[in-house]
Homo-oligomer: A and B are copies of this chain.
């Protein structure tokens, strides 16, 4: 949108950062924040651009500030499965491991707040807040992965699509501090092919099921990537999940 480098780079000061209270630095006090500020740098990625490749040495860890990135694994014959979807405030990389186990790829424009590995690992050892927050976030990610496993193993194609849209809608609502419900408008951050890799389907099946949900009035389309939900609860019914959700953390 804005061509000035200020928009291409991240916020200069952590206090202005949009993910200040959700990222790995959430619980940090001003002195710890200063420490982090000293080891951080920003990197920008274009849609489709790899962030790290499986087997690569990673000299940094970091947080997604804006945009969406994906983690994917592939079998030798080319079948690929997405195993992580990184939204703003999500963390990329693992302390005490410098070889990336997955491909990380920018799905949209991405701004990444990177920390040099060595000083970050040192900080993990000396300050409890960062380590504690990272544990919290990792446990949340594990919960999400298990929800995802239920989807991959037991849901029908139609339920998978409905679940995916519901997940994006919930995260989007959470980002704007609203509750999902009523009429909503959401942008899909992924292509049909990436959705297929997320859901363990082919892109043709994704396209067909999206069309079917539209035909049945569960969703409306405004362009290929924008979805309007007339009734969020209707979508949840189609997802196969318990209606009560249980999404309290």
Are A150 and B101 within 8 A (Cβ)? no
Chain B residue contacts of A49, Cβ below 8 A = none
Q: A102's contact among B145, B146, B241, by CB below 8 Å, is which?
A: B146
Instruction: Number of A interface residues at 8 Å Cβ cutoff, please give it.
Output: 42
Once the chains are docked, how many angstroms separate the CA of A146 from the CA of B138? Answer: 13
Interface membership of A204, Cβ < 8 A: no
A15 on interface, CB distance cutoff 8 Å? no
Cβ-based interface call for A223 (8 A): no
Q: With an 8 A cutoff between CB atoms, is A16 at the interface?
A: no
Which B residues lie within 8 Å of A152 (CB)?
Answer: 149, 152-153, 200
Judge whether A33 is part of the interface by a CB distance below 8 angstroms: no
Q: Which of B76, B77, B143, B240 contacts A101 (CB 8 A)?
A: B143
CB distance from A235 to the nearest CB of B (A): 16
Contact (Cβ within 8 A) A153 B246: no
**Cβ-defined partner of A128 (8 Å) among B71, B73, B128:** B128
Chain A window 114-150, contacts with chain B (Cβ cutoff 8 Å), 1 for yes, 0 for no = 0000000000010010011011101101110111111
Does A84 lie at the interface of the complex (its beta carbon under 8 Å from any beta carbon of B)?
yes
Q: List, in ascending order, chain B residues with CB within 8 A of A138's CB.
A: 135, 138-139, 142
Q: A135-B131, A141-B142, A142-B145 are in contact. Are A241 and B75 (CB under 8 A)?
A: yes
The docked-state distance in angstroms from the alpha carbon of A224 to that of B143 is: 33
Please name all residues of chain B whose beta carbon is closer than 8 Å to the beta carbon of A71 when the two chains form the complex: 146
Q: Is the CB of A83 within 8 A of B139?
A: no
- Residue A108 at the chain B interface, CB threshold 8 Å: no
Alpha-carbon distance between A36 and B117 when the two chains are bound, in angstroms: 32
- Closest partner residue, chain B, to A134 (CB atom): B135
* A residues neighboring B (CB under 8 Å): 71, 73, 75-77, 79-81, 83-84, 94, 96, 101-102, 125, 128, 131-132, 134-136, 138-139, 141-143, 145-150, 152-155, 199-200, 240-242, 246
